[in-house]
C-alpha cells in the first residue's frame, strides 16, 4: 500500500486502519449471524411468515391455494424454515 499510495495519498494508509479500529466484527463460525427484523404487533416471526405465505398462495395460485398438495408443500417448506431458525429472515421480505 505504501508503495502504491504513500507518496500521493498518505491518508490511504491511515484511513483503512481507522475504519478497522471502529468496527466490531464477530467472525466466529459457530451459529448463524443473521440480522433480526421486527414483525408487526400481534405476530411472532413464525406466524407472520405463515400469514405472508398464505397471502402469497392466494395471489399466485388463486382457487388452487386450498389444494391439499399446495398446502402440504407450504407446511413442509415453513417447517424447514422454522427448524433452521430463519423465520425472521424470510418474514423480512414482506415488510
35 φψ region: left (φ > 0), alpha (ψ -120 to 50), beta (else)? beta
- Considering only CA atoms, which of 72, 41, 39 is closest in space to residue 57? 72
- The residue with cell 395460485 is 61
Stated pTM of the model: 0.64
Q: Where are the domains of the chain?
A: 2-94
The count of other CB atoms within 10 Å of the CB of residue 27 is 5
Q: What letters, b where the CB count within 10 A reaches 16 and e where it falls short, cover 39-52?
A: beeeeebbebbbeb
Q: Which among 33, 36, 32 has a CA at the least distance from the CA of 89?
A: 36
Whether the pLDDT of residue 95 is over 60: the answer is: no
Q: What is the pLDDT of residues 22-52, one digit of tens each?
A: 888 777 777 777 777 889 999 999 999 999 9
Contacts of 69 (CB under 8 A, 6+ apart): none
The arithmetic mean of pLDDT across residues 48-58, rounded, is 94
Amino acid at each position: 500500500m505504501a508503495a502504491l499510495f504513500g507518496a500521493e495519498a498518505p491518508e490511504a494508509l491511515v484511513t483503512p486502519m481507522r475504519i478497522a479500529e471502529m468496527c466490531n466484527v464477530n467472525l466466529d463460525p459457530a451459529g448463524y449471524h443473521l440480522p433480526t427484523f421486527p414483525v408487526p404487533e400481534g405476530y411472532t416471526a413464525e406466524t407472520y411468515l405463515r400469514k405472508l405465505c398464505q397471502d402469497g398462495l392466494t395471489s399466485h395460485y388463486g382457487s388452487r391455494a386450498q389444494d391439499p398438495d399446495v398446502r402440504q408443500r407450504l407446511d413442509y417448506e415453513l417447517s424447514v424454515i422454522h427448524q433452521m431458525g430463519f423465520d425472521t429472515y424470510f418474514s423480512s421480505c414482506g415488510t
